[in-house]
Amino acid sequence: MGRRARKRKRDLGGCTVSGHPEGTGADAGTAVATREAATCRAAALIQSGALAKALPMLEALCTEDPADNTAHGLYAEAIRLAHGRQAHPASDSCGCGSGRAYRVCCLAGERQALRRFEDREPYYRLRSQAFRYLAGARFDQARSMAISAWFGEEGVGAAGGVPSEFPLEWALCTVDLSWTEEGEGYPLATFAADPSVPTTLARRAGQWFQHGRYGLWQCPTVQADPGVWLTDHLTGFRRYVSVPPEHLQPLAPWSVLGCQLLVVDGIWRTAGVILPMSPKEGAAMDRMIREVAQAYCEESEGAQVCGDSGKRPATAVPPDPGSRDGEWDALAAHLVGSGLPLMAATLREANSQPVRLRNTDGEPLLLVKAHIEVDDPRGLMGLLAGHPDFVEVDDDAFVWQGREMTRVQAEPLLAQARAWAAERGEELAEQIGPRRVTQAELCLEGTVLVAQVNSEARLERLVTTLAGLGADPRVMSTERTDPAEVLTQSATTGGSRGSGSTLGGDAGPTAAGGRPGLVPEAVRAWEQAWVDQPVPRLGGLTPRAAARRPDVRQDLEVLLREMEHGAARRSRLGVASIDLAALRQELDMPAMSA
Ligand SMILES: [Zn+2]
C-alpha cells in the first residue's frame, strides 16, 4: 500500500472503502460493529461523491455519540464538500455520479444538510426551556451565585454590555449545587434527569451537559466553509463548529474565543456567551489557567476535587500541561468555565483603558491640529524656506524636521521602536528611513498657519520655534484626537441576535502605531526592513533567520499570527497595514490551513 493510500486509510478512521469492519464476535460488540459498519459506509459515500446520502448518516452517528472523533471528522469533510458544491452550476451533472443534473439529484438534500448545520433554533429552543426551568425557586441560589460572579456586588447592569442571559447560560453548566441543602447538582444535569422534561429535550440537555466543553478556542480564520475548525489552546482538542455570523464577523484571524462549545443533534456550535480575545490575550488567559491549575493541584494533592459528577475530575492529578490526558482536559475545561466571568471582567478592564501610544520622542501620542495666527504670514513663509529645519513640500506647506540624530544615537532608539512595533505586530509611529524626525506639518491657509503635530509637547516646541523667528504665534484653536481611543472604540464590537451576542470587543494593544494617514510606502519600507531586523521575541534573531531554524520557527509563526490578527483589524478600520501574505512569502512561511 502506498503512502497516500495509507494516509487515506487513516483519514477514514481505519476503514478501507471496500473492507469489512472487524466485529468482536461478542454480543457487546454488535453495537460497536454496527457503528463501525455505518461509519465505513458513510466514508465510502463521501468518496463516491454521494454527500446527500452520507450527511444524514453521519449526523445520526454524531448524534448518537458526540465524542466519536472519526464520525465527527467525516461529517466535517462532507459538510465542507457540500458547501463547496453550492458554487457549481445546478445544471452540471451531479457529483454523485448518477449522470443526472445536480439540480434534480443531490442539490436539495445537500442544501437541507447545510441548513441544519447553520440552524441555531434547536439550541435556542433547548436553552429557553432550560432557562424556564432555572427560573424555579429551587435554583434561586444558583441564579444569585451566577449574577454575583458576573456582575459583582452591584448586581445586574453593573458590567455594561453584558446581557443578563450570560450568567444564566453560564449557571446551567458551571454552578454546582451538590454541596447545598437542596442537594441539587448542576442545573442542566438536573433538568436532563427530570422525568417531567420531554424525552427529546432531556436527551439534548444531557448531551449538552456531558459533551459541552469550555476552552480557549483558537479561530484561525473568519471565513466559514460553512463552519470553522476551532482548537483549544489548553488541550489541543479540536471541533468543526457552526459559528453564527454575528459571532464570526467581528473577529480577525487567530482570535481566541473564551466560550463553551456544545453539541445539539450531533452538530457542534458556539454557545451564546462568547469572549473574543486577541492572540496575545488568549495566550495570557492560557498562562493564567495553567497557573491556577498548578496551584489547585498542589493544594488538593490527590483529594476529591469536585464531587463525582463524572464530568469533573474525580481526583486532582497534577496536570501536565501539554499532555493530552483526560484529567488535564477535564480540569482545564472546568477552570475555563468557572473563570469565564473573571476573564470577562479582565477584558472589560483592558477595554476601558485605551492603550497609550507614544511618538518617537517617547511623548504620549496625540494628534493635534492647531490653527495659529502669526504676524506677517508671507514673511514667515520666506523665513521657513530658508531655515535648515524646515523643508518646503508644497506651496506654503512645510515639514518641520527635528534634530538630526547621529547614527549612534539613532540606532538604539530605532531598534527599540522597531522591537516595540514588532511585538505588537505593528508599524512604527513614524517613517524610520531618514534619521531626521518629522516634528510637524505646516500649511498656510489664508493668513492662518495650520499645524499638525503628534504630541502636546511638540506643539509647544513649534510655538517656541516660531516665536524665535519673530512670528509672534497665537494658537487660536486646537483639535485633539487620541488614535488609541479611536481604535479602541472602533474595535469594540458586539452584535446581538437576541441571545447570540458577543461580549465587549477585542481589547488590549490595538494601536495602529501610526497616524491614520500612515503612508503605504512607509508600510512597504517597514515590511522590507523587518525581515532582516533582530526581534527580541525571536531571541534576537531576524525573522529571516528564525524561519530557517526549526527550534524558533514556531515562535515566528506565533508572531506572524498576531500580526495577521492586527493587520486584519486595522485594514477594517481603513488604516494602512502590513501585507502578511507578502511577508509570509518572503520568509517561506506558508499560512497553515486549518
Ligand atoms: Zn447526485
- Under 8 Å between Cβ of 169 and 127: yes
Amino acid, res. 520: P
CB-facing half-sphere around the CA of 591: CA atoms within 13 A: 16
- Using CA atoms of 241, 242, 248, 253 in order, give the dihedral in degrees to the nearest 10: 30
How many angstroms does the Cα of residue 7 sit away from the middle of ligand 1? 27
Using DSSP, state whether 398 is helix, strand or coil. Answer: strand
8 CA from centroid of ligand 1 (Å):
23
Distance 96 CA to ligand 1 centre (A): 4
Distance 87 CA to ligand 1 centre (A): 15
From first to last of its 594 residues, the chain has per-residue pLDDT tens of: 344 444 333 344 445 443 334 444 566 678 889 999 999 999 999 999 999 999 999 999 999 999 999 999 999 999 999 999 999 899 999 999 999 999 999 999 999 999 999 999 999 999 999 999 999 888 888 888 888 888 776 655 555 556 667 888 999 998 888 776 665 689 999 999 999 999 999 999 999 999 999 999 999 999 999 999 999 999 999 999 999 998 898 899 999 999 999 999 999 999 987 888 989 889 888 988 888 888 777 766 544 333 333 333 333 333 444 445 678 888 889 889 988 888 887 777 766 554 445 555 556 667 788 999 998 888 899 888 888 788 887 888 888 876 555 555 555 556 666 665 666 555 554 444 444 556 788 889 888 999 988 778 888 888 988 988 888 999 998 887 765 554 443 333 222 222 222 333 332 223 333 333 344 555 666 667 778 877 777 877 888 999 998 888 888 888 888 888 877 877 776 666 677 888 898 899 988 654
- Residue 11 CA to ligand 1 centre (angstroms): 24
Rounded to the nearest 5 degrees, what angle is found at the Cα of 79, between the Cα atoms of 73 and 85? 140
| Euclidean distance between CA atoms 75 and 577, whole angstroms | 37
**511, 484 Cβ separation under 8 angstroms:** yes
Contact call for residues 221 and 228 (beta carbons, < 8 A): yes
Ligand 1 centre to CA of 266 (Å) is 24
Residue 458: which of 438, 435, 433 has the closest Cα? 438
**Angle 319-282-246 (CA atoms, 0-180°, nearest 5)?**
125
Name the one residue in this structure whose C-alpha cell is 489547585. 296
Distance 38 CA to ligand 1 centre (A): 20
Closest C-alpha to 101, from 112, 113, 93, 109: 93
Q: Where are any strands of DSSP class E within 359-455?
A: 367-373, 390-394, 397-404, 436-445, 448-453
Cα(110) to centroid of ligand 1, in Å? 9
Cα 132 to Cα 148: distance, rounded to the nearest angstrom: 20
The Cα–Cα gap between 568 and 249 comes to 12
Strands 228-232 vs 238-242: parallel, antiparallel or unpaired: antiparallel
Whether residue 32 contacts residue 62, with contact meaning beta carbons closer than 8 Å, is answered with no
Give 220's DSSP letter.
-
Give distance in angstroms: CA of 69 to centre of ligand 1.
27
Distance 5 CA to ligand 1 centre (A): 26
Order of strands, edge to edge, in the sheet holding 448-453? 390-394, 397-404, 436-445, 448-453, 367-373, 474-481
Cβ(321)–Cβ(292) under 8 Å?
no
**Cα separation of 45 and 76, whole Å?**
14
Q: How far apart are CA 538 and CA 558, in angstroms?
A: 10
Residue 206 to residue 65: CA distance in whole angstroms: 12
365 CA from centroid of ligand 1 (Å): 61
Distance 122 CA to ligand 1 centre (A): 28
Cell output for 510: 490595538
What letter would DSSP give residue 194? -
The count of other CB atoms within 10 Å of the CB of residue 139 is 23
Q: Which residues lie below 8 Å from residue 264, measured CB to CB, with a gap of 6+?
A: 122, 123, 126, 204, 207, 208
Give me the pLDDT at residue 423, please.
Answer: 61
242 C-alpha to center of ligand 1: Å?
A: 25
- Type and span of the H or E element at 282: helix 279-300
Q: Are 108 and 94 in contact (CB under 8 A)?
A: no
Q: Is 144 exposed, middle or buried (0-12, 13-18, 19+ CB in 10 A)?
A: middle
